[in-house]
Amino acid sequence: MQRDTTKSFSYDAKARDGAARVGAITTPHGIVRTPAFMPVGTGATVKAMFPEDVEASGADIILANTYHLMLRPGAERIARLGGLHKFMHWEKPILTDSGGYQVMSLAKLRQIGERGVTFQSHIDGAAVELTPERAVEVQCLLGADIQMVLDECTSYPATRQEAKTSLDLSLRWAERCKAAFAARAEAGQALFGIVQGSVYPDLREESARALIGIRFDGYAIGGLAVGEGQAAMLDMVEATNTVLPKDRPRYLMGVGTPEDLMESIGRGVDMFDCVMPTRSDRHCQAFTWGGRLNLRNARYAEDATPLDPESSCPAAQYERAYLHHLVRSGEALGAMLLTYANVQFYQELMARTREAISQGRFASFADEVRRRYREAPAEEETDA
């Protein structure tokens, strides 16, 4: 699908079941059905997947990492080559993060100031500056359908004062991003604000209200899944979502397990991203309708059962014994099949979730998912 500049960004709620909701986000590159899970395409590729298989899995949108792409191959280079969609053979919507989180987690010699953050590239040591204005410029060069403001991802744990200082800086940066975006973005592109405030409900509320005052196209909940635990995370989601406007999409960043998704959707979240399904191949973890499996486990050495008989993913039809052999041997095909099956499982999970919400049976559906993942916990590796 080519970019359609006549389409402006919008969110339409279609159905509701408790706080859980089904909706549709319209972007220049097509519709995103929500709740939506965005596979992570860090370096202009969803790791070990052909783009057509990402699409076949049911994904309406992927996430790409501004930090990685601005360092390699460079945002200006991608723009000269026709933009990120064309570059990576993905013509559906793309959301880009602002790069702020990776600067904190990957870059060296970070220095944060009012103006922005300077750091050394983790690839070649080059000195790089990322300001709110540059973050928007890079995301415009990439041609993202949904951009994120540059924020300071508050580290965990943080005192109330640290969280407040960090939140205030993020708000000033958010205003600068909004101004830069207004000056530069193309029709239909969207900019999301990011709620911070660590684990302090009143700071979360303060952050959300201030962002609403600036007016964004959608709102993300950031700075979570960083060690605070699921209960604290869900408290913050709840505190934030009571404040966020109902006519805008809500995006919980960097989350999570199937259980996390059920809990968060039940509290009104619409969008997610997480590296878990695409990184799990390296840990040999498979997400299936029967729960989580560790394919290295010796019990699968002669298990002729398909990986996930309940999935319609072609990769999930491969026998567990073969996948066990592939991951034990370090074969690329093992990562390819597990990633495909995991990405499609997450998409099937979202599709069934949307159906359950539309039919007013979300609570029992979420219970069933929790039960399956409780009964089949992540397994320890054993020798064959």
Q: What are the residue numbers of the active site?
A: 97, 273
Return the residues of window 289-308 that contact a copy of itself according to CB under 8 A.
Answer: 301-302, 304
Figure out which of the listed residues 336, 349, 366, 369 binds a copy of itself, where binding follows CB under 8 A.
336
Which span sits near a copy of itself by CB under 8 A: 25-33, 180-188, 228-236, 331-339?
Answer: 331-339
Which residues, including other chains, have CB under 8 Å from residue 331's CB and lie 6 or more apart?
325
Cα–Cα distance measured from residue 29 to residue 2, given in angstroms and rounded to the nearest whole number? 6
Figure out which of the listed residues 6, 111, 161, 329 binds a copy of itself, where binding follows CB under 8 A.
329
x/- contact string, 87-126, with a copy of itself (CB under 8 A)? xxx-------------------------------------
Minimum gap (Å) between residue 126 Cβ and a copy of itself: 13
Return the residues of window 5-44 that contact a copy of itself according to CB under 8 A.
Answer: 43-44
Which residues, including other chains, have CB under 8 Å from residue 159's CB and lie 6 or more apart?
none
**Residue 186 DSSP symbol:** P
Cα–Cα distance measured from residue 384 to residue 382, given in angstroms and rounded to the nearest whole number? 7
x/- contact string, 249-288, with a copy of itself (CB under 8 A)? ----------------------------------------
Do 121 and 73 meet the contact criterion of CB atoms below 8 Å apart? no
Which residues, including other chains, have CB under 8 Å from residue 170's CB and lie 6 or more apart?
149, 151, 152, 194, 196, 207
Cis peptide before 39 (omega within 30 of 0): no
> Per CB under 8 A, does 328 bind a copy of itself?
yes
- If the CB atoms of residues 121 and 155 are measured against a copy of itself, the closer one turns out to be 121
Interface residue list for a copy of itself (CB under 8 A): 43-45, 47-50, 72-73, 77, 80-82, 87-89, 301-302, 304, 318-319, 321-322, 324-326, 328-329, 331-333, 335-336
